[in-house]
Structure 1
Amino acid sequence: MKLADGREVECKTAWQMIIDRVEPCTPDWAEKITWVPKEKIIESARMYGSIKPACIYRGVALDQIGWNSTDAELCKTMLRAITGNLDIIGGDHMTYPGPVVNGKQFIRDSHLQLEDKLPPEMKRKQLGILEHPVQGWPQYDITSKYYKERYGVPQCMSGHMFQPPIPYLWRAIITGKPYPIKGLITYAGNPLVYAANTKLVYKALKHPGLELHVVLEHWMTPTAQLADYVLPMQSKMFERPYCGTFEDFHSAVAVWEAAVKPLGERKNEYDFFKGLAERFGWGEYFPWKDYREVIDYRLSSIGMTFEEAVKKCIIFTPTEKQYEQINPKTGKPFGFATVSKRAQIYNYTFELLGLDPLPVYREPFESPISKPTLAKEYPLILTTGGRFRPQFHSEHRHWGYGMREQHPWPLVEIHPETARELGIADGDWVWIETPRGRIRQRARLTTAIHPRVVNCEASWWFPEMPGEEPYLHGVFISNANVLTLDEPETLDRACGNWTNRGLLCKVYKATGIDALG
C-alpha cells in the first residue's frame, strides 16, 4: 500500500495474520505438547466447527496455567467469534448491563464505584500494572470509553476484573518495594489457603512491615488467626437482605430477604466500609444509613420496591445478539464495545498496551521439555484442580455441617499403573512434592487421568486442629498452594496469572501416617 507521503508499506488482514500464526500449530505439534492423540484433537476441532450452536465451557483451569493463561483465553474468544457461536442461544452468552425495566436501567455496581475520584498519581501506584497491564488502569483507561459509549454505564472494575497480581502484594509487604504496604483488609478470603506459594504468604502476613491486618470473616480461618482484628460478618445467604449482580458481570439481579436474624455481633460489610469511609472524611459517598437503604436506592431506578423484587427473586432482561440491534441515534447496529464496534479477533487493545495482539504458545516454566534435569527428580505433572463441589474453595471444612462428613479427607488422583510402580494403594496417604515443598493427601486411583499426571485437591485446611501457631488449623499439611509457583518472571504477561497447574512433582507413599498424625 502506498501512503500519502509516497512510502510503501506491507499490509496484512487480521485473518491472514491469524493464519500465519497458527499454521505451524499442527495436530502433530499439539499432540507432543498435550499428550492428547492427534486424532482426538482433529475430531474435537471438527465437532466444534460443525455443530451449531456450540459452546466452549467456561471454567478456571486456563486462569491457572501461568504465562499461557491469557493466550489460551484469546484462542477461545477467537473461536467463538469465528464459528458464529458468540451471543446466541446455546452458544456462548455475552452479558450486558441490566436489567432494563420499562426502559430504565438498574443501578449497577459500576454506577457506585467512583473511579473518577482516584487521581492519576494514585492510579499509577497500582501494583504490577506496568508488567501486567490488562487487569488494571492501563486497560481500563483504553476500553472504558467504548464500554460506556456502547452501554451507557461505566465499565465494571470490581472483583476479578480489576486487581493487581497478588504475588506482587506479598513481595511489596516483605521488601517495602515499590512502596511499603502497611495495612491490609482481608474480606471474604483466606489467602493462606487460596493464594499461591503459601510459605511466602505466611511470611508476608507475619512481617512487621504489615502494621495492621483486619479480617472480615464467618470463621476463624488460618488467615484470621494471624490478623490483628477479626470482625464477624453476616452471611449474605441467610442473615441479611441481598441485592446483587455477581460482581457486575451478569445482566440479571438477584434479590432476597434475610432468612434469620444475625447471630452474635455479626455485622453487614456495608456497615464496616461506611464507618471506615466516615472516619476518613468520605461519608458523603455512603449516604444510606444501612444496606437495606442501598437496596431500595438501586431498585428505585427501575421503579420497583424491595418487596416486589423479592417476589421475583431474579430480575432478568433476556438478551441475544444485542450487537445486531439498531441504535436509534445512528440507524446502525450497536456492535460491540470496541474501537471498531466489531468482535476483534486481532486484539487492538493489547497492541496499544505493548502486548502481542495474537495468541502464542510458550512451553510452561516447569515441564519435562523446559526443565529436563529437574524432571528427572520430579517426573510427574501436577495439577491442583481437584474439587469436591460442595466444598467451595476453602469453605465447608468443618465437621458437623454435613459437607465434611461426605468428603472427610483430601484426595489426589493417580493412575493405577503409576500407583503400582510407586507401591501406592487406593486410600494410602502419600506425599506430593515440588521444588517448593510437600503436602500429603490420600490416593484415589482412577483411569480417568493420564499415567504421567496427578491431580490433587485444592483449598484444604483442618478447622478441628488448633488455631494457634505453629498449627494454624493444619494449613501446611494438605494445602495444594504449598506446591504452587508464583515467581514474578513466571506470571502471565497480560494479567499476572500464576501457575497452579502444569507443575513438576513427585509422589511417594507416606509411611507411619494415619489421618492427621
Structure 2
Amino acid sequence: MAMDKGWKEVAKDGSYIVRTCGWSPPGDHPVGCGMKLTIKDGKLVHVEGDEQHPVTQGRLCIRCLDLPEVVHSPERIIHPMKRDPKDRGKDKWEQISLDEAYHLIADRVAEIKQDFGAESIVVYGGTGREASLYYYPLGFATLGTPNVCYPHSGFSCYGPRCSITDYILGAGYPEIDFAGYFEDRYNNPEFELPEWIVCWGKMPLASNGDGMFGHAILDMMKMGTRVIMIDPRITWLGAFEGNMTLQLKPNTDAALGLGLINVIIQEDLYDHDFVENWCFGFDELAERAAEFPPERVEELTWVRADDLKEVARTIGKARPVSFAWGLPVDQNPNGVQAGHTIIALAALTGMIDVPGGLTLGPPHGLFGSWRFSTRFQISDELYAKRIGANDYPAVSNAMSSTHPDLTLDTLETGEPYELHMAWFNSVNILSPTCCAQPERWYKALLKMDFNVIQDLFMTPTAMALADVFLPLSTFAEHDGLVLTHYGRNPAFMGAMNKALQIGECRSDIEHCMELGKIINPDGWPFEDAADFFNQQVGEEFDFDFDGLRDMCLYQPEYTYRKYEKGMLRADGEPGFDTVTGKVELYSTLFDAWGEDPLPYYEQPRWDQISRPEDAEEFPLLMTTGAREYTSFHSEHRQIPMMREIKRYPDIEINPATAAQFGIEDGDWVRVENQLGSAIEKAHLVETIDPRVVHCRHGWWYPEQEGEAPNLYGVFKSNINSLIPHKEIGKLGFGAPFKCVMCKITKVDGLDG
C-alpha cells in the first residue's frame, strides 16, 4: 500500500485505510480507542484496532468492531427532515435539504427571540458523546440563549465530581494513574505501579468512563496490582482472586467514606507530611469522622465492621494506592459529601498527583477555554437569566448551565418565564437514561412552539417531539478531537479522521457552525470544521490539526507533584488553586454557600427507614445503571448484532428473593413504587444482596410501533419512572437514581 498521508493508506484497487481515534456518535465515552477503518467502494467494510495506539494497543470493544452496522444501517436518518408541529408523534416527515433546514431554523429562532426573548430557548445536551464539547457553544454562540441544560436530575453525571474537584482541589478531574500520559506506558521510569486500586462505584471494564481505558486495570493486575471494589453488586473484578469487595447498601457511600477515614486517622495510618503541608481542616475532619466508628458504619451501610477495618488498613498502608470514583457518587443527594470523603482519603494517604496514585489535569484543561468562553457572546444580563442561576450557584456557576430540575419546573409552570423552543443535541431525553419522571418531561415539552433534534436514528424523543431532524455523522464520517475527560485530565488528544461521507450527515460542530454563520456570523470566524480545528489546536500547541492527523494521537508531558512546583496556581506559588491554597478537607466554598464545610452522612430519602409507612408495601431497594458492553445508554438498541447479544433489559434478583415472590429466571417482572413502574426480565444472581434488585437503564424497543402513544415502547421499561423529581442535594447536585424503595411482581409479558 502507498502512503497518501500519515493517517491514510491507499491501495491499488482504490480502497483505503484510515487511522483514527474513536469517540462518537455512536455513543461512547472519550476513550479515543485507536482503530483502522477500511473503506471500499464508498462503504466501511472492516474495523480493526490500531496496534500503534499507545493506550488501547489494538484492543477494541464490540461496539467499535460493529461500527459498519451502524454506519450503513437502513434505519439511519441521512437527510434533514421536517414536519408540522401538529403532527408531533406521527410518522409524517418530509425530506428537505440542509440549506432549507438551516434557514427554517434560523427564521423560527429569530421569531421566538423577538416575541419571547432569547431566554425562551433551551438547548438540551446528552452525556458522554462528542456533543458534550459543542452543545454549550450551540446555545451561547449560535442560538444566543443562556439556557443550556443537561436534563439529568441533580446534574447527576460527572458534573458533581468535576465540581467537587474544583472546589476541594482547584484542579482538573483526578484519575487513576494508568501511565496513559506516557508513550512507553508502564516502562516509563517515572511511573510506579499501584499496589491497590479502589474502584468506588465504577466498573471500568464495561464503562471505560470519560477516557479511563478500563482494560488498563487488567494490564496492571497482570503486573501485581490488586483491586478493591466498593459496590452494591459483586462484579467480575471484585470476585477476582486476590481482590476485595465492600458490598454496601446503595447511597450510603458517605458513611462508608467517613468510616474509612476514621480508622485511618485513629490508627495513625495517614501521611503526616502531606496532611501537615498540603491539607486544610484536618482536625475538623478527624472530629467529624470520629462520629462513624466501624460498628455504626456497619449498621448504616451493611458492610461488616471487620471488613471496613481491613480495607481501611490496606488503603492506609499500601503505597501507592489509587482511587476511581464513578456515577453512583453523582447519583446520590448525599453524593457531594461522598465525593468529598474520597478526595479526603486520597489526600490523607498522600496519593494526589504522585506516581501510581491520582493524576491531576491542568486547572483549565486542554481545549476548554473556547467552549465556555462562548458564554461571553451573550450579555451578562442575559446570562444571569439562566434557570436556577441564583438558586443553585454551585451547579449553575461551575457547569455554566441551567439547573435540570428547575428547568422542568419552568416548563410546567412558566415561571420565572415561559419557554418556547427546545433543541435536543444528541440526547434521547425520554429514554430511561437521564430524566427523572420522563412522562412529565414529555408532556411539558409538547407545549413548545418549535423543537429541533440532531441524531443518527429516529428515537422516541425525535418521534414524540421534533419538528426538524438534523442527521448526524458517525465519527467515521467527520474530523474531530478526542480529549480524555473532555480536556479536564487529558492523558492524550486524539484525531478523528474523516473516512467517508454518508448522505447529508454532519457532525455536531458542523451543524453548530453552519447554522451559527446564518444566525450569528461574527461568532463563527472559521471557514469550515477543518479551519476550526486547525485554529483551536494551533493556539495551544506547536502543531495544528493537520499535524495531529499524521500523529493520530498526542500525549502531553506530565509532571507529578505539580503542587510542589507552583504549576497548579495562577500566581505560580506552590499549593493548590483553592481559597486556602491547600486540599480543603474543610471546604471554604461550601461554608460560603451555607452548606456544611465537612462531609456528612444523610440517610437515603427513599428507603424503608426514611419512609417506614411504605416499608411493608415496598420492601426492596432498586439500584440501576450498570454498564453493558453492547450499548451506550439508550443507543445501539436497533443494531442487529448488539440486540442478538442483549435482547431485553434484565432485573437482577437474588434467588432467595425471587422465590419469595414466585419469580423464576427469565420471567417478566414489574418493578414499581409510589411513583411509577417498569417491566424487565428476571436474571437470578446469588451475588446481589437479597434486599436489593438491580435494573437495566436506557431501554426502548425500535422494533415496536414508533408513533405516539407507544413511541417505540419507551415508557415500558423506563426505570426513571420510579425516580422522584427534585430530590436533590443541598447544593443542587445528586438525585436518588441508585436507591429507591420498590416491590416486584411476576407479569405475563412486556405489556404487563
Partner of 1:493: 730
Partner of 1:256: 496
Partner of 1:46: 313
The one of 184, 191, 194 equivalent to 2:422 is 184
- For the pair 1:134 / 2:394, whether they are aligned, the reply is yes
Counterpart amino acid of residue 227 in structure 1: A
The one of 373, 379, 386 equivalent to 1:119 is 379
Moved more, 462-471 or 348-357: 348-357
Q: Taking structure 1 as reference, are residues 443 and 112 closer, same or farther at Cα in structure 2, changes over 3 Å only? A: closer
SS of residue paired to 1:455: strand
1:115 Cα offset (Å): 3.3
> Distance between the aligned counterparts of 1:242 and 1:516, measured in 2?
42
Partners of 2:724 and 2:736 within 8 A in 1: yes
Partner of 2:621: 381
1:398 Cα offset (Å): 0.9
Partner of 1:405: 644
Q: Taking structure 1 as reference, are residues 331 and 114 closer, same or farther at Cα in structure 2, changes over 3 Å only? A: closer
Q: Taking structure 1 as reference, are residues 412 and 333 closer, same or farther at Cα in structure 2, changes over 3 Å only? A: same
> Distance between the aligned counterparts of 1:378 and 1:331, measured in 2?
55
- For the pair 1:73 / 2:312, whether they are aligned, the reply is no
- For the pair 1:32 / 2:32, whether they are aligned, the reply is no
Counterpart amino acid of residue 415 in structure 1: N
Partners of 1:97 and 1:108 within 8 A in 2: no
Counterpart amino acid of residue 368 in structure 1: Q
Partners of 1:70 and 1:495 within 8 A in 2: no
Partner of 2:42: none
Partners of 1:97 and 1:250 within 8 A in 2: no
SS of residue paired to 1:297: helix
Partner of 1:357: 597
1:493 Cα offset (Å): 1.5
Partner of 1:10: none
Q: Taking structure 1 as reference, are residues 508 and 310 closer, same or farther at Cα in structure 2, changes over 3 Å only? A: same
SS of residue paired to 1:300: helix
Q: Taking structure 1 as reference, are residues 328 and 166 closer, same or farther at Cα in structure 2, changes over 3 Å only? A: closer
Partner of 2:532: 294
> Distance between the aligned counterparts of 1:42 and 1:507, measured in 2?
35
Q: Taking structure 1 as reference, are residues 111 and 386 closer, same or farther at Cα in structure 2, changes over 3 Å only? A: closer
Q: Taking structure 1 as reference, are residues 419 and 304 closer, same or farther at Cα in structure 2, changes over 3 Å only? A: same
The one of 419, 426, 448 equivalent to 2:658 is 419
1:88 Cα offset (Å): 1.9
Partner of 1:481: 720
> Distance between the aligned counterparts of 2:314 and 2:593, measured in 1?
35
> Distance between the aligned counterparts of 2:642 and 2:600, measured in 1?
42
> Distance between the aligned counterparts of 1:109 and 1:256, measured in 2?
21
Partner of 2:245: none
Partner of 1:341: 581
1:98 Cα offset (Å): 8.4
1:81 Cα offset (Å): 1.1
Partner of 1:466: 705
SS of residue paired to 1:341: coil
1:109 Cα offset (Å): 4.6
1:58 Cα offset (Å): 2.2
> Distance between the aligned counterparts of 1:79 and 1:201, measured in 2?
39
Within a 5 Å distance, the mapping from 1:302-341 to structure 2 comes to: 302-319=541-558, 320-326=560-566, 333-341=573-581
- For the pair 1:211 / 2:477, whether they are aligned, the reply is no
The one of 48, 59, 62 equivalent to 2:326 is 59
Partners of 1:128 and 1:168 within 8 A in 2: yes
SS of residue paired to 2:405: helix
1:328 Cα offset (Å): 13
Within a 5 Å distance, the mapping from 1:123-202 to structure 2 comes to: 123-137=383-397, 140=398, 161-193=399-431, 194=433, 195-202=435-442
Gap regions ≥5 residues in structure 2: 1-279
Give the TM-score normalised by the residue count of structure 2: 0.59
The one of 500, 504, 507 equivalent to 2:744 is 507
1:111 Cα offset (Å): 6.4
> Distance between the aligned counterparts of 2:371 and 2:637, measured in 1?
36
> Distance between the aligned counterparts of 1:427 and 1:373, measured in 2?
32
> Distance between the aligned counterparts of 2:371 and 2:606, measured in 1?
43
SS of residue paired to 1:439: strand
Q: Taking structure 1 as reference, are residues 121 and 307 closer, same or farther at Cα in structure 2, changes over 3 Å only? A: closer
SS of residue paired to 2:424: strand
Partners of 1:433 and 1:507 within 8 A in 2: yes
Q: Taking structure 1 as reference, are residues 328 and 481 closer, same or farther at Cα in structure 2, changes over 3 Å only? A: closer
1:212 Cα offset (Å): 1.4
1:203 Cα offset (Å): 1.4
SS of residue paired to 1:501: coil
SS of residue paired to 1:57: strand
Moved more, 391-400 or 117-126: 117-126
1:311 Cα offset (Å): 2.9
CA RMSD of aligned residues (A): 2.3
Gap regions ≥5 residues in structure 1: 1-12, 100-105, 141-160
1:165 Cα offset (Å): 3.0
Q: Deviations over 1:364-395 (max 9, x none)?
A: 11111110111111000010123323311111
The one of 411, 435, 442 equivalent to 2:681 is 442
Partners of 1:413 and 1:454 within 8 A in 2: yes
Q: Taking structure 1 as reference, are residues 271 and 396 closer, same or farther at Cα in structure 2, changes over 3 Å only? A: same
- For the pair 1:457 / 2:665, whether they are aligned, the reply is no
1:183 Cα offset (Å): 1.2
Partners of 1:433 and 1:505 within 8 A in 2: yes
SS of residue paired to 2:682: strand
Partner of 1:428: 667
Q: Taking structure 1 as reference, are residues 389 and 131 closer, same or farther at Cα in structure 2, changes over 3 Å only? A: farther
Counterpart amino acid of residue 321 in structure 2: A
Give the TM-score normalised by the residue count of structure 1: 0.85
1:167 Cα offset (Å): 2.0
Partners of 1:270 and 1:290 within 8 A in 2: no
Counterpart amino acid of residue 324 in structure 2: Y
Partner of 2:354: 88
SS of residue paired to 1:31: helix
Partner of 2:29: none
